[in-house]
Chain A
């Protein structure tokens, strides 16, 4: 019996996050700003990478994907900051196109898309670390 479900749940969250992101852009027609695209770049590949890893129970995958999860998380935090602190935007990454500081109303009150993104990256990263830790301890015991 597989006891290590963290990897599977992390993959599920990444998939749900991707679908949610596509839902906002393609069905609700909220145009993604540059920051959103950077976070998407960090998130979308996870559905393939974590999917294969979950299938193969390859818990070492954490080493490979943790960097991009941290980068995505930092982008999300930065975007939350420029949305919540009016007028604060030290580096203008957004360029032309939709404003990154503009909050889209997604019907969840004060919760914005980058907040969902930050929580998503955090939980995925946390679960991956957990599964990796537990697995390496198990391997140690086996030795």
Chain B
């Protein structure tokens, strides 16, 4: 009976130490990444950066507003303005009545179809989130969106924009984006969803995103 006691204690120590070593060896790797295609999507930051952050956003969702108000400014200051990352927003629409707002974003982006205006897209997106009415109100009308655009920048041609929203010029593109988001998120789309080089951020806070960006930068040998 003495033998079995030593055996149990010995096994226990081996298991604990083994688990510790394996955990230590394996967690230095990054979580699994997926491929996120961003061709033709509004993008700012350094175009050739080694780290690419992609955010799926829905113009009516209130969590996206919170992300834009509380998290995005810090990410912009620390990583975009310092040219450490490329930053892309993929606009999607799945909330009732949000399609006009999503279309309007692409209307502003593609005002000159030959030279899509990334800066203007982000300015307009910011303005929408800063002044976003309640998620349950049907606020996204061509009039309201034009008013937002007028205040975003005098450079936006309001008549063209109104026409573009009313004709739902970019509806197909938004629907494609939404279907794409659904596909890569495994069937259920949620916003905001943030990917850092294809790794989904679990905790969408300044700390959560910054930590992952730093890890990926380090992994890419940038830091």
* A interface residues (Cβ-Cβ under 8 A, vs B): 1-2, 4-5, 8, 11-12, 15, 19, 22-23, 26-29, 51, 54-55, 57
Bound Cα distance from A28 to B32, whole angstroms: 8
B131 within 8 A of A: no
Bound Cα distance from A1 to B12, whole angstroms: 20
A8 touches B15 (CB 8 A): no
Count class of interface residues, chain B: 10 to 19
B172 within 8 A of A: no
Q: Mark B4-40, 1 if CB is under 8 A from A, else 0.
A: 1101110110010011001100110001100000000
Bound Cα distance from A4 to B4, whole angstroms: 9
How many contacts between A and B, using CB within 8 angstroms?
42
Bound Cα distance from A29 to B32, whole angstroms: 8
A32 CB to closest chain B CB, in angstroms?
14
Chain B residues near A23: list those with CB within 8 A.
Answer: 22, 26
Partner of A2, one of B1, B18, B19, B31: B1
Bound Cα distance from A54 to B7, whole angstroms: 9
Describe A's contact surface by its main secondary structure: helix
B137 within 8 A of A: no
Query: Quick one: given A15-B15, A23-B22, are A1 and B8 in contact (CB under 8 Å)?
Result: no
A8 CB to closest chain B CB, in angstroms?
6
Closest to A23 in B: B22
Chain A residues near B77: list those with CB within 8 A.
Answer: none
B3 within 8 A of A: yes
Q: Mark B34-68, 1 if CB is under 8 A from A, else 0.
A: 00000000000000000000000000000000000
B23 touches A8 (CB 8 A): no
Most buried by B among A2, A4, A26: A2
A29 touches B9 (CB 8 A): no
A114 CB to closest chain B CB, in angstroms?
19
B1 touches A54 (CB 8 A): no
Bound Cα distance from A54 to B1, whole angstroms: 10
A1 touches B11 (CB 8 A): no
B81 CB to closest chain A CB, in angstroms?
31
* Apart from A2-B4, A11-B8, A19-B15, 13 more pairs, CB < 8 Å: A1-B3, A2-B1, A2-B7, A5-B4, A8-B4, A19-B22, A23-B26, A26-B27, A51-B12, A55-B4, A55-B9, A57-B1, A57-B4
* 18 residue pairs A–B, Cβ–Cβ below 8 Å: A1-B3, A2-B3, A4-B4, A8-B4, A11-B8, A15-B11, A19-B18, A19-B19, A26-B27, A27-B26, A27-B27, A29-B32, A51-B12, A54-B4, A54-B8, A55-B4, A55-B8, A57-B1
B19 touches A8 (CB 8 A): no
Chain B residues near A11: list those with CB within 8 A.
Answer: 8, 11
A29 touches B31 (CB 8 A): yes
B203 CB to closest chain A CB, in angstroms?
14
Partner of B23, one of A26, A55, A57: A26
A51 touches B8 (CB 8 A): yes
Chain B residues near A57: list those with CB within 8 A.
Answer: 1, 4
Bound Cα distance from A118 to B119, whole angstroms: 56
Chain A residues near B1: list those with CB within 8 A.
Answer: 2, 57
B23 touches A27 (CB 8 A): yes
Chain B residues near A28: list those with CB within 8 A.
Answer: 32
